[in-house]
Chain A
Amino acid sequence: MENLSQLLEMGGYARFVWPSFGLTLAVLVGLLVVSRRALKGAEAELAALQSAIPGRLQPADTADEA
């Protein structure tokens, strides 16, 4: 218990240390989520387009990722 509160206090620097780590993680996770969501969105769009267009129009090399 004492250990935990000691850790949280960070020797009096808690209000500088924790925001640094928290913000870093928040930005990295946020960037990751945004990038993933953009990929999923683009893939969904491509899939919709390809299913809407029959055979000949579909470039051969996109088939494996659809």
Chain B
Amino acid sequence: MATEPPRAPVPTAVTAPPPAAGAERRRLEVASLSAYYGSAEIVRGVSITFRDREVTAIIGPSGCGKSTLLRCLNRMHETVPTAHVAGSVSLDGRDIYAKGVNAIEVRRHIGMVFQRPTPFPTMSIRDNVAAGLQILGRDKPSRAETDHIVEDALRRTALWDEVSNRLKDSAIGLSGGQQQRLCIARALATRPAVLLLDEPTASLDPISTQKVEELVYELRRDMTVVIVTHNMQQAARVSDRTAFMLMGELVEIAATNTLFTTPSDSRTEAYITGRFG
């Protein structure tokens, strides 16, 4: 557990990350988190840890609260009227729901990609990738830097070869799969510490799905990835650890291999063997 560091007046201690606990570093820690729409409790007291440089998949039947849990991790949940949250989510030991924490800043460090591709239709391909950089205000990179970051993000999402000769064209001209990879590139351009993916391949064809999955597999080298999926094969292919949710509760979380071969909870076993859901 990350404990409150002593409040010594050491300037460097403010920016230094907390010490890694053991081999795996705990990047995002969720403690007894409940999420509500009005009075309906969608997520019920979930505690879960997402480790650095790992892909964690969250699986479960429709309506089990997995997407809502994901949306609590970068404070997107609260943008819906009547939605609210209880409990805590800590990014490197700092509770993102604490008083004085700016949700805008949180989202700049925890990127998100949605179920359907959401390119900005009036922007070019380049401007779409740079969109997150353009709203950084004073920290906005220069034009040349931006071009560099855009190219880097497009290369990482394997889009560069497909779009490098039409960066000025509208993003609407891309295929669905390309649009989704563009959205991932857009999220990567701001160099987030954590990337949240909400069923990113739900609206894509098998080949595009494969490309996105390969990309997710690669991303673990530099960041924490949390992917919500209703596709168990996908969870098995891309993740290091898998969490199973049911009716708003976290049933179990384990190494992906373990969860799919020898689950410890009978409900998990029932779900992965296809007896419900």
Same complex for A and B? Answer no
User: Hey, which bits of chain A sit against chain B, CB under 8 A?
Assistant: none
